[in-house]
């Protein structure tokens, strides 16, 4: 269950920012690629469990899964695709290369303004 490790890392990062901002966090947005294999429900459950009793308790996690991208070796067009259909959306070529999957990133933390 790597979601627990991801949750611990998120809690550490958010807690460090809480100390800098001296404010209560209310939500955090993260993003990751399709192949990162994050289960949204498990991550939220793990985060809620380890955040109990901390300033991060009750934060709403928003998780965005970024699509895979490929580059056509014929026309060099970069495009999003589904794993079952790797065909250039510009010229129709199947001669394409996969681009690196998006990493797991903590994109944004929203703090209570009071």
Contact at 8 Å (CB) between 87 and 93?
A: yes
Contact at 8 Å (CB) between 32 and 65?
A: yes
Phi-psi region of 12 (alpha: psi -120 to 50; beta: other; left: phi over 0): alpha
pTM of the model: 0.81
Nearest-angstrom CA–CA distance, 23 and 26:
9
Nearest-angstrom CA–CA distance, 65 and 26:
21
pLDDT mean over 5-23 = 92
Beta bridge partners of 63: 30
pLDDT mean over 87-107 = 94
How many Å is the Cα radius of gyration of the chain?
18
Domain 2-67+102-111: top CATH class: alpha beta
Per-residue model confidence (pLDDT) at position 1: 53
20-77 confidence digits (pLDDT tens): 888 899 999 999 998 877 899 999 999 999 999 999 999 999 999 999 999 999 999 9
Per-residue model confidence (pLDDT) at position 114: 66
């Amino acid at each position: 269950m790597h979601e627990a490790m991801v949750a611990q890392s998120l809690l550490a990062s958010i807690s460090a920012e809480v100390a800098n901002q001296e404010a209560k966090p209310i939500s955090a947005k993260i993003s990751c690629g399709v192949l990162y294999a994050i289960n949204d429900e498990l991550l939220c459950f793990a985060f809620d469990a380890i955040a109990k009793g901390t300033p991060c308790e009750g934060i709403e996690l928003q998780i965005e899964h970024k699509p895979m991208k490929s580059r056509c070796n014929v026309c060099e067009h970069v495009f999003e695709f589904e794993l079952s259909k790797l065909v250039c959306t510009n010229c129709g070529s199947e001669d394409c290369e996969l681009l690196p999957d998006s990493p797991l990133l903590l994109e944004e933390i929203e703090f209570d303004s009071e």
